[in-house]
Amino acid sequence: MGSYADFYRRSIEAPEAFWAEQARLIDWHRPPEQILDASRPPFARWFVGGQTNLCHNAVDRHLAQRAQQPALIAVSTETGAERTWSFRELHADVQAAAASLLALGVGRGDRVLIYMPMVGEAIVAMLACARIGAIHCVVFGGFASGSLASRIEDAEPRVVVSADAGSRGGKVIAYKPLLDEAIRLSRHKPAAVVLVDRGLAPMDREAGRDHLWAELMVRHQGAQVPCTWLEATDVSYTIYTSGTTGKPKGVQRDVGGYAVALAASMKHIFDGRAGETYFSTSDIGWVVGHSYIVYGPLIAGMATLCYEGLPTQGLDRQPDGGIWWQLVEKYRVSVMFSAPTAVRVLKKQDPALLKKYDLSSLRALFLAGEPLDEPTARWISDGLGVPIIDNYWQTESGWPILTLARGVEPQQPTRFGSPGVPMYGYRVKILHEATGEELTEPGQKGVLAIEGPTPPGFMQTVWRDDARFVDTYWKSVPGRSVYSTFDWGIRDAEGYYYILGRTDDVINVAGHRLGTREIEECIASHANVAEVAVVGVADALKGQVAMAFVVPRSGAAATDADAARALEGEILQLVSARLGALARPARVHCVTGLPKTRSGKLLRRAIQAVCERRDPGDLTTLDDPGTLQQVRALLGA
């Protein structure tokens, strides 16, 4: 172990030597011939010529030393189910699932869309895809049919793996009707659907298309399906994320670079060790779930805990607030990963809960997904007595961009309000948003950007849309070809970075990224909506919530409170049904006009400022001051 500064410097000055060394952390069927091919910027191809497999590195590789040790622990306080798979059992189930997919005609490069609650089978399905070289596209189970349909259409999956239902706080959410509706809406139709029947909701099955997971697994029990050796630069998966436009982007990732990046991060950042247990409270539908519920911990030879349920339950399914700590005690969790929002929910509980369980196995809690506010950080740090490590990254990066590398320099101090310093391999810059000039003085606010070539694990491109990848991410800072994170940032004199929110129309609700345009497009489809603006407004618990302002097409909604409330109800229902509860605005306000510039551009930032009771800034371009006045009056601001 040495100083992190030296480690970082090596990664920047001699990236190929640095990453060649990291590549030894995983198994290769054929070692890479070239560490980095950056001949066609901004595309970076890592470990060219190498052949490997994510499932081999996550499962098979550990059989020699830890076949009987736990690999996957699935706990649901919703159903009371609790099951542990050893590496050997996981190996067997993944092969049966892989054989099932092969029997349904899934081949290398075919897509399999996974729309599942947090059950062990979801992870088995992901690993089965990785094993045979199929590309998985996991869609968050909280999304509804409209969101699901657009993803099915873009991914064109041969097979969809789903379940009868998920459950949240005892409320069953039937997935099958949402899936059927999504398939109906989509121009692309999958050839087969595989369904895990949890006995939570009745399912209509379409003959010839729909299969039961349990039946397939019995049929293929004992199957031996060797890992398909993939090129390091082949595609492992796509995951959809929101941006400025209404159409979600399929973030595409490779095989070899991702495996190396995760193995390296488990060692250098998370300090997770083989034989221990890792617990991430995220969901497989998000990038954190891909990297640090599924692949990262398993590649490191750790057991991973997959939890379905609220943080405010006990293992006995009674309201408690102690479930996380109960699980830490029971499974001797050493590394934990969560989001600030979830901790803010816990903050409302009795702090004695933190002292009730034996947490001596826990070494650190990592938090990411949204800014970590100081009171939340202090509360959980005092309660747990372990380091709380903020880490900043994105779906696009696949692993942390800014944090502390505790595996390299354990004593590197944390700083409240800052996620930390650039991770090895990342050339992080603060740039002036209008001139592209680098801002080198401490405290100067600019766009947080990354200079290429991007490190292993970073997105390869946008699925089937290289032009969108280049235009969206690499051409947004004037005069420079750098990757824009679309976040504002500053750096202090010691090199610690601070994130100051998004530069685009993306909002962050409870650590989940949502595009305001997507919500606007959904609301605009209501027959009585002429115009709509959706903004993100600060919220004490969720970080941000969506707030909608609509101009009704006709009727009394803009002037009559009862009519406005009725329209609000219809719109909220529409958003829940199409996009999912997560995207549901906190309020829908009816107005007679929206604040716009004279050239017709919507002044979202001014609306947002008024909602947050801040100064809306320069309003010289505002066409009709009455519109903003109306927003003010509605909010009593």
Query: Parallel, antiparallel, or unpaired: how do β-strands 587-590 and 461-462 relate?
Result: unpaired
Which one of 297-305, 391-399, 429-437, 561-569 is the stretch in contact with ligand AMP (CB under 6 A)? 391-399
Nearest distance in Å: CB 164, ligand AMP: 28
What is the distance between the alpha carbons of residues 390 and 402, in angstroms, rounded to a whole number?
Answer: 9
Nearest distance in Å: CB 275, ligand AMP: 29
Please, are residues 618 and 553 in contact by the beta-carbon 8 Å criterion?
A: no
Residue nearer to ligand AMP on the CB measure, 51 or 403: 403
Nearest distance in Å: CB 386, ligand AMP: 18
Q: Which residues contact 467 (CB under 8 A, 6 or more apart)?
A: none
Please, are residues 220 and 99 in contact by the beta-carbon 8 Å criterion?
A: yes
Nearest distance in Å: CB 397, ligand AMP: 8
Does residue number 502 form part of the binding site for ligand AMP (CB under 6 A)? yes
What is the distance between the alpha carbons of residues 458 and 28, in angstroms, rounded to a whole number?
Answer: 20
Rounded to 5°, the CA angle 148-287-483 comes to 105
Rounded to 5°, the CA angle 519-432-416 comes to 75
Residue nearer to ligand AMP on the CB measure, 140 or 549: 140
Does residue number 414 form part of the binding site for ligand AMP (CB under 6 A)? no
Residue nearer to ligand AMP on the CB measure, 527 or 540: 540
Nearest distance in Å: CB 199, ligand AMP: 32
Closest CA to 12 of 611, 436, 421: 421
Does residue number 522 form part of the binding site for ligand AMP (CB under 6 A)? no
Instruction: Output the 3-class SS for 105-156.
Output: CCCCCCEEEEECCCCHHHHHHHHHHHHHCCEEEECCCCCCHHHHHHHHHHHC
Please, are residues 262 and 291 in contact by the beta-carbon 8 Å criterion?
A: yes
Residue nearer to ligand AMP on the CB measure, 15 or 511: 511
Does residue number 51 form part of the binding site for ligand AMP (CB under 6 A)? no
What is the per-residue binding string for ligand AMP in 185-224, x denoting contact by CB under 6 A?
----------------------------------------
What is the distance between the alpha carbons of residues 395 and 483, in angstroms, rounded to a whole number?
Answer: 14
Does residue number 405 form part of the binding site for ligand AMP (CB under 6 A)? no
Nearest distance in Å: CB 474, ligand AMP: 16
Does residue number 371 form part of the binding site for ligand AMP (CB under 6 A)? yes
Please identify which residue in the block is written with the tokens 């903004």.
535
Does residue number 370 form part of the binding site for ligand AMP (CB under 6 A)? yes
What is the distance between the alpha carbons of residues 634 and 561, in angstroms, rounded to a whole number?
Answer: 11
Local structure of residue 275 (DSSP, 8 states): T
Please, are residues 329 and 374 in contact by the beta-carbon 8 Å criterion?
A: no
Nearest distance in Å: CB 486, ligand AMP: 6
Does residue number 394 form part of the binding site for ligand AMP (CB under 6 A)? yes
Closest CA to 85 of 77, 93, 76, 95: 93
Report cis status (omega within 30 of 0) of the bond before 42: yes
Which one of 66-74, 196-204, 362-370, 595-603 is the stretch in contact with ligand AMP (CB under 6 A)? 362-370
Helix (H, G, I), strand (E, B) or coil at 414: coil
Please, are residues 164 and 178 in contact by the beta-carbon 8 Å criterion?
A: no
Does residue number 507 form part of the binding site for ligand AMP (CB under 6 A)? no
Residue from 240, 331, 392, 474 touching ligand AMP (CB under 6 A): that is 392
Residue from 50, 407, 419, 456 touching ligand AMP (CB under 6 A): that is 419
Residue from 499, 523, 534, 607 touching ligand AMP (CB under 6 A): that is 499
Please, are residues 241 and 234 in contact by the beta-carbon 8 Å criterion?
A: no
Residue from 57, 76, 238, 485 touching ligand AMP (CB under 6 A): that is 485
Report cis status (omega within 30 of 0) of the bond before 453: yes
Does residue number 543 form part of the binding site for ligand AMP (CB under 6 A)? no
Residue from 241, 312, 334, 516 touching ligand AMP (CB under 6 A): that is 241
Which one of 153-161, 269-277, 390-398, 409-417 is the stretch in contact with ligand AMP (CB under 6 A)? 390-398
What is the per-residue binding string for ligand AMP in 447-466, x denoting contact by CB under 6 A?
--------------------
Residue from 308, 487, 520, 612 touching ligand AMP (CB under 6 A): that is 487
Does residue number 287 form part of the binding site for ligand AMP (CB under 6 A)? yes
Helix (H, G, I), strand (E, B) or coil at 267: helix
Residue nearer to ligand AMP on the CB measure, 151 or 176: 151
Does residue number 365 form part of the binding site for ligand AMP (CB under 6 A)? no
How far is residue 119 CA from its own chain's centroid? 17
Does residue number 390 form part of the binding site for ligand AMP (CB under 6 A)? yes
Please, are residues 225 and 127 in contact by the beta-carbon 8 Å criterion?
A: no
Residue nearer to ligand AMP on the CB measure, 150 or 394: 394
Residue nearer to ligand AMP on the CB measure, 241 or 476: 241
What is the distance between the alpha carbons of residues 24 and 228, in angstroms, rounded to a whole number?
Answer: 20
Does residue number 395 form part of the binding site for ligand AMP (CB under 6 A)? yes
Closest CA to 448 of 432, 427, 429, 433: 429
What is the distance between the alpha carbons of residues 346 and 22, in angstroms, rounded to a whole number?
Answer: 37
What is the distance between the alpha carbons of residues 131 and 255, in angstroms, rounded to a whole number?
Answer: 11
Does residue number 542 form part of the binding site for ligand AMP (CB under 6 A)? no
How many chain residues are in contact with ligand AMP, going by CB under 6 A? Answer: 18
What is the distance between the alpha carbons of residues 182 and 198, in angstroms, rounded to a whole number?
Answer: 21
Residue nearer to ligand AMP on the CB measure, 74 or 430: 430
Nearest distance in Å: CB 440, ligand AMP: 22
Which one of 200-208, 275-283, 365-373, 549-557 is the stretch in contact with ligand AMP (CB under 6 A)? 365-373
Does residue number 505 form part of the binding site for ligand AMP (CB under 6 A)? no
Please, are residues 100 and 220 in contact by the beta-carbon 8 Å criterion?
A: yes
Residue nearer to ligand AMP on the CB measure, 179 or 423: 423
Residue nearer to ligand AMP on the CB measure, 139 or 353: 139
Residue nearer to ligand AMP on the CB measure, 147 or 394: 394
Detail the DSSP E strand segments found in 197-340. 210-212, 230-231, 235-241, 249-254, 277-280, 303-308, 333-338
Closest CA to 298 of 627, 63, 485, 512: 63
Nearest distance in Å: CB 500, ligand AMP: 9
Which one of 100-108, 377-385, 388-396, 530-538 is the stretch in contact with ligand AMP (CB under 6 A)? 388-396
Query: Which residues contact ligand AMP (rule: CB under 6 A)?
Result: 241, 287, 368-371, 390-392, 394-395, 419, 485, 487, 499, 502, 508, 513
